[in-house]
């Protein structure tokens, strides 16, 4: 079936517009597959059954390939057999009903109550940056905002008296988010002087600002979070989602 592989590779390059690296990966996977089939006496497309494909995938598992690598390999075989079927070079696609191998699900990372308390207490509220950072961490914890929403949050969209803020998520969809008492208190303390100290006479729509002219960035918040995690003595890998 090697001539059919040549046709498939030509199809990938001309019709699919895949990168050279992706085409090479597909070619390597299908070449190994055809060699395995040939070793079991299968030399024609019409002879390939679902069981033959499963047997080949089983050899990958016994060789120690990860579930992710097996899934990538199966994607190449699916593409190859779909091509043969669509070009009337094979009567059917034996991979049509096969499930993609799934890796084990990882448990979500999370912080315990004590760890959260230590993290929230890490900033020094006696400095303008510390007051800002304490408000950011407390607000993120209280509301579950995305970091992109947090760093771009306009000051006018935070309604402390009523205890809520207006957030604009993906697709600019508006939602009202409740804000609890501790977060309200931290934001109030930040607005009572530290924000103006950071602005130094400049104007900004953003609630959270820096001493520099540019706005607070997502990467800036990531660095801030990692710094406070170290200060709080947290050994877990911490992300804003965590």
The per-residue pLDDT for 107 is 62
The per-residue pLDDT for 13 is 83
The per-residue pLDDT for 108 is 66
- Judge contact between 57 and 69, C-beta under 8 A: no
* pTM > 0.85: yes or no: no
pLDDT by 10-residue block (mean), the chain, 242 residues? 85 77 89 89 86 86 80 88 90 83 64 91 96 96 91 94 88 87 96 94 92 81 92 86 76
The per-residue pLDDT for 3 is 85
Give the separation between CA 216 and CA 201, rounded to whole angstroms: 17
Count CB-CB contacts under 10 A for residue 147. 20
The per-residue pLDDT for 103 is 55
Sign of dihedral through CA atoms 81, 82, 83, 89? positive
**Eight-state DSSP code of residue 154:** B
Identify the helix (H) or strand (E) that includes residue 159: strand 158-159
Identify the helix (H) or strand (E) that includes residue 34: helix 20-39
The per-residue pLDDT for 104 is 57
Give the separation between CA 61 and CA 63, rounded to whole angstroms: 5
């Amino acid at each position: 079936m090697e001539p059919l592989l040549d046709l498939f590779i030509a199809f990938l390059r001309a019709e699919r517009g895949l990168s050279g690296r992706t085409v090479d990966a597909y070619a390597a996977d299908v070449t190994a597959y055809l060699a395995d089939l040939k070793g079991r006496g299968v030399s024609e497309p019409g002879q390939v059954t679902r069981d033959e494909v499963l047997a080949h995938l089983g050899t990958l598992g016994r060789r120690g390939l990860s579930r992710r690598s097996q899934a990538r390999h199966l994607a190449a075989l699916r593409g190859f057999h779909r091509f043969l079927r669509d070009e009337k070079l094979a009567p059917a696609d034996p991979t049509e009903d096969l499930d993609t191998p799934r890796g084990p699900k990882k448990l979500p990372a999370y912080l315990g109550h004590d760890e959260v308390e230590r993290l929230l207490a890490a900033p020094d509220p006696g400095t303008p940056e510390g007051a800002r950072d304490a408000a950011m961490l407390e607000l993120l914890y209280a509301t579950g905002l995305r970091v992109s929403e947090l760093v771009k949050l306009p000051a006018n969209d935070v309604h402390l008296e009523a205890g809520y803020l207006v957030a604009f998520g993906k697709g600019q969809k508006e939602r009202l988010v409740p804000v609890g008492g501790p977060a309200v208190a931290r934001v109030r303390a930040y607005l009572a002087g530290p924000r103006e100290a950071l602005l130094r006479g400049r104007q900004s729509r953003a609630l959270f600002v820096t001493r520099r002219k540019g706005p607070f960035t997502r990467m800036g918040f990531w660095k801030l979070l990692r710094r406070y995690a170290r200060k709080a003595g947290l050994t877990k890998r911490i992300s804003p989602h965590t």
